[in-house]
Amino acid sequence: MSTHLLLVEDEPAIREAVAYTLRSEGYEVDESADASSAIEAVDRTPYDVVLLDILLPDLSGVEVCRRVRERSDVPILMVTARDAEVDRVIGLDAGADDYITKPFSMPELLSRIRAILRRRDLDRGAARRRVGDVELDLARHEAWAAGERVRLTPTEFKLLALLASQDRPFSRREIMQHLWESDYVGDVRAADVHVANIRRKLDEAGAAEHVATVRGVGYRLVAAARVNESS
Average pLDDT over residues 191-206: 92
CATH architecture of residue range(s) 4-127:
3-Layer(aba) Sandwich (3.40)
Which candidate, 158, 130, 132, 149, places its Cα nearest to that of 226? 132
Beta bridge partners of 29: 5
Domain with CATH 3.40.50.2300 in the chain: 4-127
Domain with CATH 1.10.10.10 in the chain: 132-230
Residue 221 has pLDDT above 70, yes or no: yes
What pLDDT, on the 0 to 100 scale, is given for residue 80?
79
Rounded distance between C-alpha atoms, residue 5 and residue 19, angstroms: 9
Provide the mean pLDDT of the chain: 87
Residue 12 has pLDDT above 70, yes or no: yes
- pLDDT tens digits for 57-111? 999 999 999 999 888 888 999 987 766 666 777 888 888 888 888 888 999 999 9
What pLDDT, on the 0 to 100 scale, is given for residue 40?
96
Give 226's pLDDT tier (boundaries 50, 70, 90): very low
Count Cα atoms within 13 angstroms, Cβ side, for 74.
30
Residue 125 has pLDDT above 80, yes or no: no
User: What is the 8-class DSSP label of residue 170?
Assistant: B
Give 126's pLDDT tier (boundaries 50, 70, 90): low
**How many of the other CB atoms lie within 10 Å of CB of 57?**
9
CATH architecture of residue range(s) 132-230:
Orthogonal Bundle (1.10)
**Cβ within 8 Å of residue 157, ≥6 positions away:** 136, 141, 143
- pTM: predicted TM-score of the whole model, two decimal places: 0.58
Which candidate, 157, 182, 160, 187, places its Cα nearest to that of 172? 187
User: 96 near 88, Cβ under 8 Å?
Assistant: no
What pLDDT, on the 0 to 100 scale, is given for residue 83?
64
- pLDDT tens digits for 150-194? 999 888 999 999 999 888 999 999 999 998 877 776 778 889 989
**How many of the other CB atoms lie within 10 Å of CB of 177?**
16
Rounded distance between C-alpha atoms, residue 136 and residue 138, angstroms: 6
What pLDDT, on the 0 to 100 scale, is given for residue 227?
44
